Amino acid sequence: MADDKKKSEMDVLITRISNSVDKKNVQSCCKKILKKCSFKSDNDLSNVKQLAFWLYIYGYYDEAISVCDLLKDMEFTGNYRIWDNADNAMCLKARILREQGKLPEREELLKKVNEHRHPELYKNLVDWYRGTLNENINSDSSTLGKLSWMMTKLTFAVRYREAGGHPISDDEFERDISELLEIFRAVK
């Protein structure tokens, strides 16, 4: 019963966003979520995360927070593929809260995020972020492919900038985030 109520509330929210935000990427995510969304599917939860990020990109911060909140009650079950989407959404919400000066609420959210993190492994991601990810962006010949790699970079930068403890500095992440937001905001 609780799952049916959660699904119904999600459908109302996503329909409202679909009816009020006339942006192609937002519309695409909304359609995918309304067609199918299981909280046990990595692909479906990725659509929810993507919607939250597109809303953030376009400046719909309240809507982005509402979408992030769809994943806030998820519990970590040991499956990082599923959890990463909730983690990303919570870090995006933490970013918005920081930008709005709501620091106590942000800190509480990040406590939950950091319960399932292993900062000792972060050093393994530095070369991937600075090297491989940029190589993939630069070598992909399709616009859609480049945008997909750039979204991966944006979600990674937000995620690790907000949660903290990463060997890459907050300043470097912020520069990358600003650059990527500028590019994405030009996308219709």
Domain boundary among the residues 83, 116, 149 is at 116
| pLDDT higher than 70, residue 1 | no
pTM, rounded to two decimals? 0.94
141, 94: one domain: no
Which amino acid is it at 48? V
Question: Which secondary structure element, helix H or strand E, spans residue 139, and what is its range?
Answer: helix 133-139
Q: What is the pLDDT of residue 119?
A: 85
170, 85: one domain: no
103, 72: one domain: yes
71, 33: one domain: yes
93, 27: one domain: yes
109, 150: one domain: no
State the pLDDT confidence band at 6, using cuts at 50, 70 and 90: confident
76, 129: one domain: no
147-171, pLDDT tens digit by residue? 999 999 999 999 999 999 999 999 9
92, 129: one domain: no
Neighbours of 46 (CB within 10 A): 18
Q: What domain count does the chain have?
A: 2
Mean pLDDT in the chain? 94
Domain hosting residue 91, numbered range? 2-116
Q: What angle do CA 153, 60, 146 make, to 5 degrees?
A: 25
> How far apart (Å, rounded) are the C-alpha atoms in residues 175 and 53?
17
64, 126: one domain: no
25, 111: one domain: yes
Q: Is 60 helix (H, G, I), strand (E, B) or coil?
A: coil
Domain boundary among the residues 66, 90, 116 is at 116
59-101, pLDDT tens digit by residue? 999 999 999 999 988 989 999 999 999 999 999 999 999 999 9
Domain boundary among the residues 116, 135, 160 is at 116
10, 67: one domain: yes
Cβ(92)–Cβ(68) below 8 Å:
yes
Q: What share of the chain is helix, strand, coil (3-state, %, to 5)?
A: 75, 0, 25
Q: Is 66 helix (H, G, I), strand (E, B) or coil?
A: helix
Please tell me the least confidently modeled range out of 3-7, 64-68, 91-95, 174-178: 3-7
